Structure 1
Amino acid sequence: MPPEPSVTIIVPTLNEENYIRQAISSLIPEDEGLDYELIVLDGGSTDHTALIVEELARLNPRIRLEMNPARYQSAAVNRGAILARPDSEFIIRADSHAEYPPGFVAGLVRELKARDAASVVVPMRTRGNNFLQRGIAAAQNSRLGNGGASHRVGNRSCYVDHGHHAAFARRTFLAIGGYDESFTHNEDAELDVRLRKSGAQIWLCAELAISYFPRSSLGALARQYFNHGSGRARTMLKHRHRPKARQLLPLGALGMNMLSLASGVAFGWLFFLPSVAYAGACLTGGLYLAVSQRDPAGCAAGPAAMIMHQSWAAGFVYRALRVSVSKRPRIPVSDEVLR
C-alpha cells in the first residue's frame, strides 16, 4: 500500500470563540486516507478560544495549540509551516471564521497532486446568521460588493492569478519564503504575485467552496475593508502593478463623492447629485438582492456595499500616500537655518 499523504492544517485565530469549534470540526478528515495534524496558532485571544481548542485537543491528539506572538495571519501560517512534522508534504491554510465542506482537506490534496500547480485556491461564499450579517453577505457575494473577483463569483475550475488561499505544497511554500510578514493584510495576494513570477501556477477548485462568516457590525466591516485596501496598495507598490478595472471603481467612487460633497457645500445642492446618484444605485442594488433572494436582509447590502467601497478606497489612498511620503528624499537643513 502507498503511504498516506501527510498533511498539516494550519488555523490562525484570535478571539474566535463563536466560530473556532465549528471551523475545526468541519476541517477534520474522516476516513479519507490522510495522515494529518491540525495546528491552531493563537495570537493572544482574550476570550475562550484557547480553552475550546485545548478541549478539542484532549479529544483528538492530532490537534494542538501553539502561540503566535506576532498575532498576524501571515506570521501564523509561516510559523505553522515550520512547526509542522518533518514528513509533512502539504499545508492547508484555514480560517477560523469559516466552515468547510465535507472532504475539503482530501479534495485539496487530490487537486495538488493532480494539477501542475504550487497552490490550490477555492471560492468563498459568505453566509450570515443575523439580519445585518445576511445583508453584508449578500453584498459580498454579489458584483455590487466584490466587483467580479474570480474567487467570489467563479463557478468553474481553472488556473487563476489569485484566489482564497487553501493549500500549498509545503516544500514550495517554504522555498519561496512563505508570506511576507510585514503584511498584516493582503499577504495572500502578495504571495501569489511571487508564485507567478517564479513560474508556478495557481489552480482554482470551484467544487471546494467554503462558507465564510462576515463581520457582524458596520464598524468592523469598515475597518476590515480599510485594511484590505491598504494591503492591496502595498502589494501593488511593492511589485509595481497597476490596479485592475474593478479596483479602480471604488477609488473613482471615493474621489467623486469627496468632490461632490465639497462642491455641494461650496456651491449649492445641485453638486450633491453625483453622491446621491451613487447612494441610490447602491441602495437599489440592495433592494434587487432582497427581492431576488427573497430575504429582506438584502436591503442592508446597499449600505454595506457603500461602506466596503469607500473604506477599501480610503485604505488604498492612505497606504499609497504613506509610501510616497516615506520615499520622498529628505532635504538637509543647513546650520544657518537652524540658527
Structure 2
Amino acid sequence: MLNKDNVTVIMPAYNEEKHIRDAVNKVVNQKWSGNLEIVVVDGGSTDRTAAIMKEIIPTLPPNRSLQILYNPQKHIPVSLNMACLHASSDIIVRTDAHTYVPDDYVLETVNTLEEIEYQGIAGGRIIIYPGEETCIARAISLAVRHPLGVGNAAYRTLGSDVVKPLDVDTVPFGAFSKALWEDLGGYDESLLFDEDYDLNYRAREKGYRVVLNPKIVLTYFSRKNLNLLWKQYFRYGFWAYKFCQKHKIIPSIRRFIPAAFVIGFFLLLLVGFFWTFKLFGLYLLAYLLPIIMVSLYEGLKKKRGMLFSLCLVPVFPVLHFSYGLGSILSLIKRK
C-alpha cells in the first residue's frame, strides 16, 4: 500500500540562477497538506544556483524539506536517478528548474496516478513563454509550440477544449511510483537527452499507462535566441535517433521528417551544381511558402505586427535544420 501523504519532488538543475528560486518556491507553495520532500540535483553549476537553494532552506515550513545533491557527471538522467534513489517517498513527481509548476501540480498528478491505480506515469501539458522579452524570443516561444515547428506532440499542441485525461505516448516530466522507477531500471543514463520519452516508452512496453491530464498546465521558458535554440534542437535530433537505435524502432513521422527534409535539401542542391537548380528552387519554394504564410498569419492576423512575422520566418528553418542535422549525425555515429 502506497503512502500518499508523503511525496518526493525531484528537480535537476544546472546554472539556473535566473529561475531556481521561483521554481523551488512554486513547489514549496503547493496546495498539498502532506509532506513534500524536494530533491534538487545540481549538475555542477558555476553561477549562484546552489547558493540560492541554500538561502531557501531556512525559510521552509515544517512539512517541506529541500535537499541538494551534486552530480559531477552533469548529465540529466544521472541526476534524475540520483534523486529517485535518494527519494524517501513512494510517489515521485519530476519537475525542472526551467519550468514553473501550477500550485495544484502535485495534487493533480497524484490524483491522476490514483485514478490509474499507480500503474503508469501521469503528467500534463505545457504552455511556453519567451526566455526574454525580445521579438526573436517571442517568435521562438511560438514556433516551438506550433505544429509546423514540433509536429503533433500532444503536450505542446493540445487545445484548451480538451478537458478529460487521455492516454498518450509521452508526457513532460511526469509523476510515478518509486516502484515503477525500480521496475523499469530507472532512467537510461546512456541517453543524455530524450530520457523522459525513453522512460515513457519503456513503461508503455511493459503495460503501464502514460496519461496526460489537461488540467495540469506547466509553464516552460523557451530558449532566448537562435543560437541556443539551434544547440537545443540539434541535441534533441541526435538523441531522438539514438533512442530509436536503442529500441530498434523506426522513427515516428514527427521525428523522421526533419532528417528527410535536410537530406532532400542537400541532394537537390548537389543536383543543381551538376545539372539544374530548378528542382532545388521548387523544393525550396515548397518549403518556404508555408513558413511565410504561417509567419504572416501569426504576425498580422493575430495582430502581433510585421516585425514579429519577420522574426518568426527564420525560427522554423533553425528548428528543422538543427533537428534534422542532429538526426543525420546520430545515424552516421551509430556507436
Q: TM-score, normalised by structure 1?
A: 0.89
What corresponds to 1:336 in structure 2? none
Partner secondary structure for residue 291 of structure 1: helix
* 1:321 is the counterpart of 2:332: yes
Distance change (3 Å), C-alpha of 1:298 and 1:173: farther
* 1:281 is the counterpart of 2:290: yes
| Cα deviation 1:20-74 (Å, max 9, x = unaligned) | 1121122224452221111111001111111111111221261222111221111
Which amino acid in 2 is paired with 1:36? L
Choose from 113, 121, 124 the match for 1:122.
124
* 1:304 is the counterpart of 2:306: no
Which amino acid in 1 is paired with 2:237? G
Which amino acid in 1 is paired with 2:154? S
Q: TM-score, normalised by structure 2?
A: 0.90
What corresponds to 2:243 in structure 1? 235
Q: CA RMSD in A?
A: 1.9
Instruction: For 1:4 and 1:147, locate their aligned partners in 2 and report how far apart those are by CA, in whole Å.
Output: 36
Partner secondary structure for residue 215 of structure 2: helix
Choose from 111, 124, 132 the match for 2:136.
132
What corresponds to 2:103 in structure 1? 102
1:126-275 map, 5 Å: 126-128=128-130, 129-130=132-133, 131-155=135-159, 156=162, 157-273=165-281, 274-275=283-284
* 1:77 is the counterpart of 2:89: no
Partner secondary structure for residue 18 of structure 2: coil
Instruction: For 1:170 and 1:298, locate their aligned partners in 2 and report how far apart those are by CA, in whole Å.
Output: 46
Distance change (3 Å), C-alpha of 1:201 and 1:4: closer
| Cα deviation 1:267-301 (Å, max 9, x = unaligned) | 45434412244234323322222234332335423
Instruction: For 2:291 and 2:53, locate their aligned partners in 1 and report how far apart those are by CA, in whole Å.
Output: 41
| Cα deviation 1:304-331 (Å, max 9, x = unaligned) | 11111111111111111211xx4xxxxx
Distance change (3 Å), C-alpha of 1:292 and 1:77: farther
What's the % identity of the aligned pairs? 27
Structure 2: runs of 5+ lacking an equivalent:
none
Distance change (3 Å), C-alpha of 1:89 and 1:29: farther
Instruction: For 2:254 and 2:53, locate their aligned partners in 1 and report how far apart those are by CA, in whole Å.
Output: 39
Distance change (3 Å), C-alpha of 1:101 and 1:5: same
Partner secondary structure for residue 74 of structure 2: coil
Which amino acid in 2 is paired with 1:138? L
Which amino acid in 2 is paired with 1:17? E
What corresponds to 1:65 in structure 2? 68
| Cα deviation 1:80-127 (Å, max 9, x = unaligned) | 011112xx0111111111111221111111111122441012212211
Larger radius of gyration: 1
Partner secondary structure for residue 200 of structure 2: helix
Partner secondary structure for residue 110 of structure 1: helix
How many matched pairs? 321
Which amino acid in 2 is paired with 1:144? L
Q: Does the CA contact (< 8 Å) of 2:81 and 2:187 recur in 1?
A: yes
State the 1:142 CA deviation: 1.0
